[in-house]
Chain A
Amino acid sequence: MQKRACAFAILAAGLTGSPASAYTAYVSNEKDNTMTVVDTATMQVMKTVEVGQRPRGITISHDGKLVYLCASDDDTVQIIDTATLEIVGTLPSGPDPELFVLSPDGKTLYVANEDDNLVTAIDVESKQVLAEIPVGVEPEGMGVSPDGKTMVNTSETTSMAHFIDTGTHEVTDNVLVDTRPRFAEFKPDGSQVWVSAEVGGTVSVIDNAKREVVKKIQFAIQGLRAETIQPVGIAISADGKKAYVALGPANHVAVINTDTYEVEKYILVGQRVWHLAFTPDQKTLISTNGNSNDITFIDTATDDPVQSLTVGQQPWGVVISPK
């Protein structure tokens, strides 16, 4: 059934043929230790690159020249040159890096060390550890405010969003959210942080000034048991109007109006949808679907899935080049 839907989607895309700008997407594949390089215009795989063990978190330098990749089981962050697609170095991430975020000035990488209840701040230029910040149990989600002054980390077993002052590297506020928070994303204006809770099944909207939960968003998809709805990745559009939430084994991405907090649509993608990334022109959103080993291209004008593309085994994270 799903395959037929996909085939139809491909056909439809071919017919309407809306020209997309060419960007490069990089997908980390957790199970086969590779990174898939994808052309977002042709929606084709350009290359598959061998990387370290259990690649998960992935991000890119602001000039698009370097990809940073958490090789969790190698306890390191690998640096990949996007021109040659070769590993050109590593960063001292601390043990079991899972997810990270690059500061808006591109100078500091904040890494969640899941096994050690730490957030490590690394200077990417000198490759030196700037600070190790103790947080809750199983730190995972990492978000940074647009002004770079505040970093938010979520800890899965502690169920908190920890607000960290990036100047002092101190935890300043701890906000309790629902069970197993996985991801933190600031709104582009810095007014709110959205935090997903995988087991709790909700997204908490935290006011960044008050450091309080101001709204809890719930999800319901007809025909699906509540337990299968497990929010993970979040992407908020550059204009701040729409938030997309990947719902894990529910195989859907929720589209939320950030003014009303209403879920306006559930987009069917692949199995166990984990993370999301926009193309820089905001026209396309890509989801990684871990259990169907593919990614889905979503047209953000219609919020329809356009095409699915097989990548490596258990795609986890995705990042798209800035140009």
Chain B
Amino acid sequence: MTSAVPGTLAAFLCFFSLTVNFSDATGQETVAKPEKETTEIKIGYLRAYAPQLTLSMLDLPPRDEGVAGAEVAIGDNNTTGKFTNQKFSLDVTEIKPEGDAVRAFEDLIAKGDRYVVADLSARQLLSIADIARDKGVLIFNVGATDDSLREEDCRINVFHIAPTRSMLADALAQYLMVKKWPNWVLLYGSHEQDHLYADALRRAATRFGGQIVAEKEFKDTGTARRTDTGATQIQQQISVFTQDLPEHDVVLVADESEVFGTYVPYRTWTPRLVAGTAGLVASSWHPASEQWGGIQMQSRFLKTTSRRMLSKDMSAWTAVRAVGEATTRTKGDDAKKIGDYIRSDDFSVAAFKGQKLTFRKWNLQLRQPILLGDTKSVVSTSPQEGYLHQVSELDTLGVDQPETKCALK
């Protein structure tokens, strides 16, 4: 090509291109188009944490339970952010269970966080909800399963990623009814949260036609959970505790406090299946869920954290992804716009559950399929087939719009 051009012309072309380059270089400050500015999106993570005793060593919560899920999601958001000029960061703050959440929360706001993932008790969450609203901060609840937070104590700036106790109980009840195991006995612990879970199971029984033929409270007498002779003792204790129960298909256990639940399976007086907080457990995620692209999430999580992904990790991942999704779609970092967008019909987030997840507009609870699993595998996913709903079958789980006590404010 060049050889065909006469020498003088070639020289001229060469000179011309040189001058162009030259003027480019000198005029850079005024002419060159400015680099797109990167928006920084700061997400806070406030958690109540203390080492926790569990009945089984396998259930000891990992030190970074939940936080790890948020971190993986920050990585995912930042991969997308490369193309949208957005950079996400995570500030993690820990307080004691039932410690003062207000100060820690205000510190996060002072750092510029406008989105806060909260792994707190219901009381702690409520203590910061209105401060957050006044400061234009959005809260994503990943820890508290209390129905009250979505009902009488609901707030317009608090999004609930974690499923409620009523959603979990309904998911379980639907499955037991589909299996035609309708007669249940209910064993519940003596702490407040055990009573709340038991309430959710009673409500589910009424809703789906299960019969609770007997109930029994297991008192926490404060004795050692694990002793040298534990196994023998427990074998006898649980057997005796379940001796006087009427005929039933399933033993329902409500023991969020980790006092006796894990010990119920295989130790009952009559050979019966166990479900609830032990045996077949309802949860928002399962470390063995590989359907719907789940295997990709599981292997990404394992690669990053060297452990399996738990329900709270998935809730925190979903919370941070919801912020990421909304900032990508609204092309900005205005917390008010983001909040409006997440509350709108346009918002949905994918979280490896086979369908898009959206928020219930009347109380800002994330609609989601609930996984039912034992220690090794996912047994089923609710809603079960045949439980129909005029809006979304996911609304057969938990408190539905006509029953809600929530008035968002």
Contacts and interface: CB of A to CB of B under 8 A. Distances in A.
B409 interface: no
A135 to B, nearest CB: 8
Given A159-B328, A180-B350, A200-B356, A137 B83 contact: no
B80 A158 contact: yes
B79 A179 contact: no
B395 to A, nearest CB: 12
A159 B355 CA distance: 15
Contact of B296 (A114, A176, A225, A249): A114
A208 to B, nearest CB: 18
B354 to A, nearest CB: 8
A134 B81 CA distance: 12
B356 A199 contact: yes
Interface residues of B, number: 23
Interface in A58-116: 96, 114-115
A137 B393 contact: no
B350 A160 contact: no
A242 interface: no
Given A176-B329, A179-B356, A199-B356, A138 B393 contact: no
A249 B303 CA distance: 30
A174 B45 CA distance: 30
A48 interface: no
A227 B350 contact: no
Contact of B303 (A115, A158, A159, A201): A115
B293 A156 contact: yes
Interface in B357-409: 392-393
B348 A227 contact: no
A137 B299 contact: no
A137 B348 contact: no
A117 interface: yes
Contact of A227 (B82, B83, B355): B355
Interface string A136-170: 11100000000000000001111110100000000
Contact of A199 (B76, B83, B300, B348): B348
A267 interface: no
B79 A117 contact: yes
A96 B296 CA distance: 10
A179 B350 contact: yes
B79 A158 contact: yes
Given A115-B300, A227-B356, A137 B350 contact: no
A49 interface: no
B296 A179 contact: no
Contacts of A6: none
B79 A200 contact: no
Contacts of B296: 114-115, 138, 156
A136 B83 contact: yes
A171 interface: yes
Interface in B291-306: 293, 296, 299-300, 303
Contact of A157 (B83, B329, B350): B350
Most buried by B among A96, A134, A136, A162: A136
Nearest to B349: A179
A182 B33 CA distance: 34
Contact of B83 (A114, A156, A162, A200): A162
A122 B76 CA distance: 26
Contacts of A160: 80, 83
Contacts of B328: 158-159, 176
A158 B350 contact: no
Contacts of B354: 227, 249
Given A199-B350, A200-B348, A227-B356, A134 B82 contact: yes
A205 to B, nearest CB: 19
B76 A137 contact: yes
Contacts of A200: 348, 356
Contacts of B392: 227
Nearest to B329: A176
B291 to A, nearest CB: 11
A157 B82 CA distance: 14
Most buried by A among B79, B83, B348: B83
A204 B157 CA distance: 32
7 contacts: A137-B76, A158-B83, A179-B350, A199-B350, A199-B356, A200-B356, A227-B356
Interface of A: 96, 114-115, 117, 134, 136-138, 155-160, 162, 171, 174, 176, 179-180, 199-201, 225, 227, 249
A-B pairs, top 5 by smallest CB distance, nearest first, are A227-B355, A158-B80, A174-B83, A199-B350, A137-B76
